[in-house]
Each structure stands twice: as C-alpha cells, then as structure tokens.
C-alpha cells in the first residue's frame, strides 16, 4: 500500500546564497541506491530525490507506508498528527505562482514549510528597513524617485547564514504622486567580514493580474 499527494515543489527563488533550511518537499520517484537501501533493494522502495536534483513539478509523489510515517513528522506542525493535503497543495502552488510573495494557505511551523508568512506588525521596523533599502535600489537602477510608504506583507525563508525576505510594500512616485505596489527580495544575514549584511536581490513593481 502506498500514500500519495500532489506535490508542488519550489526550489530557491532568487538569491545566490546556499539554502541551509533543510531538505525540499518530496520530488519525483527515485529508487534507493545500494548504500541507502541497506538490503531493501529487492523490493525497490521509492523515495524523494534531493533538492539539487529537483525541478518545479506537480507530479504525484508515491512512497511506502514506512517512509510516509517518517515524513509525517516533517509535514506536521507540533500537535498535528495528520497531513492536510489540501493546504499543502495550495501552499506549494501559491509559492510557485507568486515566486514566494503571496501565501494564503500556511500549514504551520514545521521542517518542510520553508516559506513562513510574517506578522508585519511584529516585524514592522525590520521590514521597513529592508523595504526602504529595496526602494533605494530600485530608484538607482531605474532612475526613479519613489518614496517608501508602508509594508503590506512579508514572507521569510532561511537561506545560508541569513534569511531571504519576500516583501510586498507600497511607495509613492514623487513626480506623479502615484502610489504603487512593489515586490522585493532582500537577503539579510552574516557575510564575512561584516557581522550583518543586507543584499537587495531585486525590487520590482508588482504586476497586475490579467482580468
């Protein structure tokens, strides 16, 4: 008997730093090699590939009951005993489609929930600092004159010796007085020899969905 659910995997979205947040969500079917199987090759059980071998996919992931029970701990927040397949499917899809910026279904704090929505009220000063650095970056790159207004949403992802922040914020065009929405990917962490660094990966106007 096997267990399966639809997997929408998202690799490293933006940033050049190495991700140390742990293994990625289950991937394509992959047979265990001799060292990993420890004598189980005769039944040729299947397990997910590593993150480095993965690509964005929505293929059906199939594993044995034994592997499923082991993975449940990585997919269930503390106090939760069953995987909510619907929430996980929506979670991965939202990350993939929005490139990490718009997450409306969050399964809870656990190993495989690599993108975590932040309460911007609790991180207001930090997100303001990072998004202000992003709009300065945008103004210099595009030769514009936007003034930062406020943060709307922010999501965090552990990345190397720091954190990737996917920030959606508003800024006003000083010339036209237009209020626009921006998306910025900003890495903050330790980059020797500096004890703390801020690296704006990109800052862009948020695209408007087609109607």
- How confident is the prediction along the chain (211 residues), in pLDDT tens digits per residue? 444 444 444 444 454 444 444 444 444 333 334 444 344 334 333 333 333 333 333 344 455 777 767 777 788 888 887 888 899 999 999 999 999 999 999 999 988 899 999 999 999 999 999 999 999 999 999 999 999 999 999 999 999 889 999 999 999 999 999 999 999 999 999 887 777 899 999 999 998 766 5
Name the residue ranges covered by the structural domains of the chain: 2-106, 124-205
- pTM for this predicted structure: 0.68
3-state secondary structure of 85: helix
What's the pLDDT score for residue 119? 96
Q: Is 157 exposed, middle or buried (0-12, 13-18, 19+ CB in 10 A)?
A: buried
Tokens in use for 99? 């490139």
Bridge-based pairing state of the strands 146-159 and 162-173: antiparallel
Task: List, as own/partner pairs, every contact residues 122-126 make where C-beta atoms lie below 8 angstroms and the sequence separation is at least 24, other chains included.
Answer: 123/154, 124/151
Domain 124-205 sits in CATH at 3.10.450.10
Distance CA 163, CA 181 (A): 22
What's the pLDDT score for residue 5? 45
3-state secondary structure of 68: helix
Tokens in use for 112? 């495989």
Cβ distance 154 to 12 under 8 Å? Answer: no
């Amino acid at each position: 008997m096997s267990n399966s659910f639809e997997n929408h995997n998202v690799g490293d979205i933006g940033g050049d730093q190495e991700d140390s947040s742990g293994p990625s969500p289950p991937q394509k079917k992959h047979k265990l090699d001799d060292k990993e199987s420890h004598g189980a090759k005769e039944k040729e059980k299947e397990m997910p590939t590593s993150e480095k071998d993965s690509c964005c996919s929505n293929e059906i992931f199939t594993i044995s009951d034994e592997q499923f029970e082991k993975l449940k701990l990585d997919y269930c927040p503390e106090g939760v005993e069953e995987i909510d397949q619907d929430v996980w499917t929506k979670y991965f899809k939202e990350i993939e489609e929005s490139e990490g910026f718009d997450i409306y279904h969050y399964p809870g704090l656990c190993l495989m929930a690599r993108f975590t929505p932040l309460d911007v009220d609790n991180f207001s000063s930090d997100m303001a600092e990072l998004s202000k650095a992003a709009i300065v970056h945008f103004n210099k790159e595009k030769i514009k004159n936007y003034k930062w207004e406020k943060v709307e949403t922010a999501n965090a992802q552990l990345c190397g010796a720091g954190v990737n922040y996917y920030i959606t914020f508003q800024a006003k065009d000083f010339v036209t007085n237009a209020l626009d929405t921006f998306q910025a990917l900003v890495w903050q962490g330790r980059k020797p020899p500096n004890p703390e660094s801020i690296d704006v990966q990109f800052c862009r106007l948020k695209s408007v969905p087609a109607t």
